[in-house]
Structure 1
Amino acid sequence: MKLKTGFIGFGKSTNRYHLPYVLKRENIEVKKIYNRTRKEELENKYKDYDIEFTNDLNSLLEDKEIKLVTICTPHSTHFEFAKLCLEHNKNVLIEKPFATTLEEAKELLNLAKDKGLIIMPYQNRRFDGDFLALKEVINKKYVGDIVEIESHFDYYRPESPTYNGKYYDGSFFGLGVHTVDQIVSIFGRPKKVYYDIRAIRNKNNPDDYYHVELFYDSFKVILKTSHLVKSPYPKFILHGTKGSFIKYGIDKQEECLKAGIMPWDEGFGLDPEELYGKVTYVDENGQDKEITIKTPLGDYGRVYDNLYDAIINGKDKLVKDEEILTVIEILESGFKGENPKIYKFE
């Protein structure tokens, strides 16, 4: 049985991060794509896939064959479009962030529950190869009990023209949503969160720097993004009671997609061996040891595999409601009051 889907929005997100994965899956069919204005030149690139393109939103919402709608529009419109889709009995996948406030998130989840529908954010970076390597090291307890984790998502982009953005248009909502979700997906809700969120290139713009720390019972996690990092940090640093894990280099899927290399092409998303993570530890005889962790192959399309199983086969969805709410609460709380600050979770 095929899962027929529709898209709201036909920009970079749809074309780069969704369609390359969906179109290679035989059990999912993209039936219709809505955009406020038609983009015929871009539409022609998909002429072999029998997709209907439209600037009539109702034609998508009222199409009873479409069971899932993916929303790839500006952050400020996510709530409005998601609510509209749920009201038309569509399951919904929302590009991150899920919503701009905790109140919006709760309303969407409650509406989906009342209607017996699936709704969740596109947390595709749960399937980054570097993150999968970190999870492997944690699950196999190579470094013993966790003491500290540090996660970076940095760039060097010194130019920052002024634009009139909202708090949810900055780096914390745009990139922190991934780094926070990755940690919440493993460890759940933290006890406290420390925030330092700033605009460092242009004070008139939304944030382009954050240093956020999530405190758990016996360890903490440091999450950082800056747009002024010329010499890269490791992507992940993990310290434990028996050793450490260091991984340089971010997952290669985005780099490949930008270069026009598709998921079905040879070598797509492969991490070069020189960027494989290293575990250094002390064995039971007190000897120093080192293990190389081959980077697992990431696949953002696994989000859609899960949605197929959840919608068609009644399986659990990938991103649980409590994880969605925790991530949005962490994000929104970063902009309440002065920075730096500590926020205590009940």
Structure 2
Amino acid sequence: MKKLNIAYVGFGKSTNRYHIPYVKIRDHFNISRIVNRTLGKRPEQAVLEANGTVFSTDINDIIQDESIDLVIVVTPGSAHYETSKKLLLGGKNVICDKPLVETLEQAKELVALAKERNLFFMPFQNRRFDSDFLTVKKVLETGYLGNLIDLTVTMDHYRPADASLGENFDGAWYGHGVHLVDQMVSLFGKPETVQYDVRSTRDAVATDDYFSVNLIYKNFRATVQATELAAVSRPKWVIYGSRGTLIKEHVDQQENDLKAGIVPGDEGFGADTPQDFAQLTYYNQNGDRIAKTIPTVSGDYGRVYDSAYNSLVHGEEKLVSDEQILAVIETLENAFK
């Protein structure tokens, strides 16, 4: 099996929590280089160095290393555009953390640059491999619900003291909305119209921390919503169809496990308990009302890496198409126009 040499720009919490643990259990990647603005003596660095990873503070070390097959950008969001552009101009294939960029113009420029140079370029949309999303996707594909009428997906937290100043790019709509909008675009494509309610509820002058946005498709509405002031979280998914209803109360467990130090490969990682399973109620062709519990499909954020490998090595289509990249960024940016 061909191994890909990969490099990271950024070595903070996201790199060490949402990326490297998934790469470590995959045999077809080698973490060759990591660039960060400052280098310390963290245990994570020592472990990687012992296995041959080279650390430095200059991104040109990655660009000039012809052995690097793929670079993953995990910098603060404000640096995504410039960092990705520099790497693409340097001839590197790039995965960039999300939100990818702030504006449609920036997204179009990077997509065009990658296309001109025949390079792989894609955002790290790991929430396409949330267990709850994969479960919902499976139910939609079975046809239990009939014709879709109304879908609501929620990302709630209770963080009353975390209001902060910043730009639009720093708020909840870009930060949380990017996951939910991408999930909808991956399922249904670009919405026909969008209705926005995006605001700050903890502090009038702080960045937005609440949104309820309706993505209008031809025959149904998909609502994506979140608040940072939910003492009791709303169900993660509520979906109504012409023949049934699906409710999934709880979120994917990968993030909670990672925060607790449980990592991919550990027994039970990311697994739902039976009380967390989705509940489906539908009417069959005989008019019988059926209630079913839907076991959760296993999630795995590392599948973003698997898809990138298959694109680079086997020529398969990208997980996130250029059209989807642009549709997501346009939907996010238009909230503030």
**TM-score over 0.5 for the pair:** yes
Q: TM-score, normalised by structure 1?
A: 0.95
**Mapping 1:15-54, distance limit 5 Å:** 15-42=16-43, 43-54=45-56
Q: TM-score, normalised by structure 2?
A: 0.98
Tell me the secondary structure at the aligned position of residue 190 of structure 1.
Answer: coil
Tell me the secondary structure at the aligned position of residue 110 of structure 1.
Answer: helix
**Mapping 1:181-220, distance limit 5 Å:** 181-220=182-221
Shift of the alpha carbon at 1:331?
0.2
Shift of the alpha carbon at 1:48?
4.3
Partners of 1:168 and 1:120 lie apart in 2 by: 19
Q: Provide, for residues 90-133 of structure 1, a one-character-per-residue CA deviation record: whole Å limited to 9, x for no partner.
A: 10000001111100000000000000001010000000000001
Structure 1 equivalent of residue 101 of structure 2: 99
Is 2:56 the counterpart of 1:65?
no
Runs of 4+, deviation exceeding 6 Å: none
Shift of the alpha carbon at 1:54?
0.8
Contact 1:160–1:202 under 8 Å retained in 2? no
Contact 2:148–2:242 under 8 Å retained in 1? yes
Tell me the secondary structure at the aligned position of residue 36 of structure 1.
Answer: coil
Is 2:234 the counterpart of 1:233?
yes
Shift of the alpha carbon at 1:50?
1.9
Is 2:325 the counterpart of 1:324?
yes
Q: Which amino acid is the alignment partner of residue 143 of structure 1?
A: L
Shift of the alpha carbon at 1:205?
1.3
Partners of 2:95 and 2:59 lie apart in 1 by: 17
Shift of the alpha carbon at 1:56?
2.1
Tell me the secondary structure at the aligned position of residue 32 of structure 1.
Answer: strand
Partners of 2:24 and 2:67 lie apart in 1 by: 18
Tell me the secondary structure at the aligned position of residue 245 of structure 2.
Answer: strand
Deviates more, 1:202-211 or 1:323-332: 202-211
Partners of 1:266 and 1:210 lie apart in 2 by: 36
| Structure 1 unaligned residues grouped into runs of 5+ | 337-346
Contact 2:49–2:55 under 8 Å retained in 1? no
**Mapping 1:169-184, distance limit 5 Å:** 169-184=170-185
Among candidates 150, 153, 157, match of residue 151 of structure 1: 153
Structure 1 equivalent of residue 275 of structure 2: 274
Tell me the secondary structure at the aligned position of residue 42 of structure 2.
Answer: helix
Shift of the alpha carbon at 1:47?
4.1
Q: Which amino acid is the alignment partner of residue 24 of structure 1?
A: I
Partners of 2:32 and 2:219 lie apart in 1 by: 49
Q: Which amino acid is the alignment partner of residue 290 of structure 1?
A: A
Q: Provide, for residues 180-230 of structure 1, a one-character-per-residue CA deviation record: whole Å limited to 9, x for no partner.
A: 000000100111100000010112211000000000000000110001111
Structure 1 equivalent of residue 261 of structure 2: 260
Q: Percent identity?
A: 44
Contact 1:68–1:91 under 8 Å retained in 2? yes
Shift of the alpha carbon at 1:46?
2.8
Partners of 2:67 and 2:313 lie apart in 1 by: 13
Q: Which amino acid is the alignment partner of residue 80 of structure 1?
A: E
Structure 1 equivalent of residue 80 of structure 2: 78
RMSD of aligned C-alpha atoms? 1.0
Q: Which amino acid is the alignment partner of residue 150 of structure 1?
A: T
Q: Provide, for residues 66-90 of structure 1, a one-character-per-residue CA deviation record: whole Å limited to 9, x for no partner.
A: 0110000111110100011011111
**Mapping 1:291-302, distance limit 5 Å:** 291-302=292-303
Partners of 2:259 and 2:299 lie apart in 1 by: 16
Structure 2 equivalent of residue 137 of structure 1: 139
Contact 1:130–1:247 under 8 Å retained in 2? yes
Deviates more, 1:100-109 or 1:43-52: 43-52
Q: Which amino acid is the alignment partner of residue 245 of structure 2?
A: S
Partners of 1:237 and 1:111 lie apart in 2 by: 39
Contact 1:253–1:269 under 8 Å retained in 2? yes
Partners of 2:199 and 2:81 lie apart in 1 by: 26
Structure 1 equivalent of residue 222 of structure 2: 221
Q: Which amino acid is the alignment partner of residue 278 of structure 1?
A: Q
Partners of 2:165 and 2:220 lie apart in 1 by: 38
Contact 1:195–1:213 under 8 Å retained in 2? yes
Tell me the secondary structure at the aligned position of residue 109 of structure 2.
Answer: helix
Q: Which amino acid is the alignment partner of residue 88 of structure 1?
A: G
Partners of 2:197 and 2:65 lie apart in 1 by: 46
Contact 2:145–2:244 under 8 Å retained in 1? yes
Q: Provide, for residues 281-334 of structure 1, a one-character-per-residue CA deviation record: whole Å limited to 9, x for no partner.
A: 112222211111110110000000010111111111100000000000000000
Structure 2 equivalent of residue 342 of structure 1: none
Q: How many residues align?
A: 335
Partners of 2:8 and 2:145 lie apart in 1 by: 43
